[in-house]
């Protein structure tokens, strides 16, 4: 298969498996998505979705959020981990949104990445899922699968994002990054991987990855 044929195989397979694409983090607007994505760092979507309703019941907008103290926020979000850093970020960015953006979430990488505790991936998720702006957020699943599929060298997330944007049509980025995440969770996980179920990797996977898998199973 040529690289272009591999790309087309990935797109077609993912569209067959995920014609409807669920959004992993529950939210109702750009602000609640921003907070949920920030909270998801080194945590799971399941855990975040358990905690955000508790937090948003008290504050689902920046004006109400700054009425809480950093300590109150930290106590609520403690189960998701890294609560000292995340609570300061949530409180600080809420102030900035009010002071600089009239309480609205900005729509550029530059503005989002200037907010406390907001990195490139978080900004990309917000742009993609809240505003429909083409972006390709790279999480651990996408990093792993782009390497397994021999579509990126796995060097770092910056390179993987560049490769994904170069290979896949821009109009598909927002759907594809979610489809790949769901595929990674269901068919190509880091642990408990069953290659027989992982049709994409089995078909187009990197030779060294396939060899290592079979060696481990033998």
pLDDT tens by residue, 123-145: 999 999 999 999 999 999 999 99
**Domain end position, chosen among 115, 131, 147:** 131
Q: Is 139 a catalytic residue?
A: yes
| Residue 151 CB coordination number (10 Å) | 21
| Predicted structure pTM score | 0.92
Active-site option among 45, 88, 107, 139: 139
Dihedral angle of Cα 57, 62, 66, 71, to the nearest 10 degrees: 60
Residue 140: which residues within 8 A CB-CB, separation 6 or more?
Answer: 190
Provide the domain limits for residue 122: 30-131
Q: Is 29 a catalytic residue?
A: no
Mind listing the pLDDT tens digit for each residue in 153-187? Answer: 988 999 999 999 999 999 999 999 999 999 999 99
Active-site option among 6, 121, 163, 198: 121
159 and 72 assigned to the same domain? no
172 and 193 assigned to the same domain? yes
Listed in order, strand segments (DSSP E) in 56-120 are none
* Count of domains forming the chain: 2
């Amino acid at each position: 298969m040529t690289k272009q044929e591999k790309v087309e195989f990935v797109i077609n397979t993912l569209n067959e498996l995920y014609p409807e694409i669920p959004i992993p983090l529950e939210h109702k607007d750009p602000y609640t998505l921003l907070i949920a994505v920030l909270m998801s760092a080194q945590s799971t979507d399941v855990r975040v979705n358990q905690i955000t309703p508790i937090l948003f019941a008290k504050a689902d907008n920046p004006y109400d959020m700054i009425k809480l103290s950093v300590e109150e926020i930290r106590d609520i979000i403690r189960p998701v981990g890294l609560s000292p850093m995340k609570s300061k970020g949530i409180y600080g960015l809420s102030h900035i949104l009010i002071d600089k953006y009239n309480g609205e979430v900005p729509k550029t990488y530059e503005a989002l990445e200037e907010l406390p505790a907001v990195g490139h991936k978080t900004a990309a998720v917000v742009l993609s899922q809240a505003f429909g702006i083409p972006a390709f957020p790279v999480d651990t699943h996408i990093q792993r699968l782009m390497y397994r599929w021999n579509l990126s060298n796995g060097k770092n997330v910056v390179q993987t994002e560049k490769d994904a944007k170069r290979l896949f049509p821009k109009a598909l980025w927002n759907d594809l990054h979610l489809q790949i995440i769901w595929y990674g969770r269901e068919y190509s996980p880091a642990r408990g991987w069953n290659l027989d179920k992982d049709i994409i990797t089995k078909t187009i996977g990197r030779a060294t990855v396939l060899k290592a898998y079979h060696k481990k199973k033998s």
